Amino acid sequence: MQPNKKKTAFTESLISLVIFIVLIATGTLIWKVQADFDVSKMGIVSDANLVASSSAEAIFDFGAVIESGWSLLGVPQHYSEATLYEKINGKAPLYLDAGFKSLIAQRIVNDSNDSFWFEIYIYDMAKGLNAFSVYSQQKRSGAESLKGIESSYKTENSVFLTAGKYYIEIIGSLPDETLNDTQVKIAGKMVGMLSGGASSETEDFGVFPPENLDRQSITVIKADAFGYQGFTDIFVADYKLQGQQIKVFVRKNVDKGAAEKLADEYGRFLSEFGFTKIKAEGLPDEISVFEYDGIFEIVFAVDIYTAGIHEAYEKQSALKLALEIYKKLGNFE
């Protein structure tokens, strides 16, 4: 039996018409989405917005700090809390947790050799303490400090520092002495322009007795210090006593009651993790000593401070240093 050719042709025409209508509808939808596309709805800032933001929210005149023989490459780029990951993917949480507000980045290139360039990052961290926190937690051991700038250091191709509420990185394209010297000069100018020559260091740094203190080790941990959720804005520093490195921590509280409460809560935290409170002769009653498998933790409250020793392995040195810290914070010397 032969198939009905007219019926087959009609069916094929109908299918073609349906496909044609679907294609038109799809094309119309795509055109509409593209016409109304807004990347900001996805948390992304376009290049055009970066330029506009940097012009409207500029905080720094990069042209004022460049040395002779160097030029600005492009325009400053601005990043917000929502877009920071685009520039420093992987490290963004460290900055966001510390109070990050915005970042402006500008590349500078050598006029004679375009392989010599560096990029300046200015992070607005809202407060000097926040700026020092991100600076100190990323500081490389053994790095060379810059003369005349308290919180600063350099590597063979980069410079890192704080200025007021700003944390600054100047990252070079390659290791080179001339490039590094230029970075250092620019860093000095930036400190003067962003903080009036003042460091972001606060009076709180003076809580540490200077003897045997490794000043370059001073760090601020913004949250969850030593795994304890209640420890925020903790100052930490290393001491060397009798060949032992001992870590001291201090937190400044709103009042004496808050300091005592925090010390008690941290003591309970240690007990929950297996530490045993032990007696220590010759120490004030306020100083509590805990031990677990040869590791010693000491915590106390004095005046408005909560302080102590973290993970010490030599008991007597830890006790001696704890008493020194206690006396200094309580003005008992």
60 neighbors 102 (Cβ within 8 angstroms): no
Contact assessment for residue 191 and residue 159, using Cβ atoms and an 8 Å cutoff: no
> pLDDT of 11-38, one tens digit each?
555 566 556 665 666 655 544 444 443 3
> What confidence category does residue 216 fall into, taking pLDDT thresholds of 50, 70 and 90?
confident
Give residue 328's identity as a one-letter amino acid code. Answer: K
Residue 182 contacts residue 208 (beta carbons within 8 Å): no
- pLDDT for residue 181 is more than 70: yes
Residues 234-250: b if buried by 16+ CB within 10 A, e if exposed: bbbbbbebeeeebbbbb
Give the homologous superfamily in CATH for domain 203-329.
TM1622-like (3.40.1000.20)
Domain boundaries, the chain: 47-195, 203-329
pLDDT at 87: 94
| Mean pLDDT score, 200-215 | 77
> Model-level pTM?
0.70
- Give the pLDDT mean for 88-105: 92
pLDDT for 18 equals: 56
